[in-house]
Amino acid sequence: MSLGKNIRRMRRDKGWTQSHLSEHTGIRIGHISKLEQDEGDPKLSTIYKLMQAFSCSPDSLLMDLNRVNTDAVLKQSLERVTALPEEEKKTIIKVVDAYCMAYGLQQQFASGNKTPFGLRFYRDPPQSVLNETAEPETEKSAGQGAG
């Protein structure tokens, strides 16, 4: 993702038009339009104005998401979350927490991992629930224990 796409995304995250961004930064609307279209190279002072208006880090504004690893993208996404209202942040935390717990359980029960108390868990139902050393219960042996 280019600088222009980052500016457009951040502006839209705030619900701003180019005019609103112009009011918050003092940058002319025409210049904002050109920046969003990746035309020209912005001055450092323009970058600072954009960072201040968006309350973002330089990474979030300048990062090319197509050229960085997943951790960098996650960092930028989490920075975006900090701008949400408090209740929305709590919802995101619950979703992430639930996902991490589910992933942890999946890893715990993955084949080859030992489970607590010697329990066995199967991904697919076993062919037979009987222990291989036990004899299958017949009608005769089932009736003998009752008497």
Residue 74: other Cβ atoms inside 10 A: 10
Residue 54 within a domain: yes
> For residue range 89-126, what is the model confidence (pLDDT) as tens digits?
999 989 988 888 888 888 777 766 665 555 555 566 65
For the full predicted model, state whether its pTM sits above 0.75: no
CA 70, chain centre distance (Å): 10
Looking at residue 136, what DSSP letter applies? P
**Which CATH number fits the domain that encloses residue 35?**
1.10.260.40
Residues 64 and 91 occupy one common structural domain: no
113 lies in which domain range?
86-118
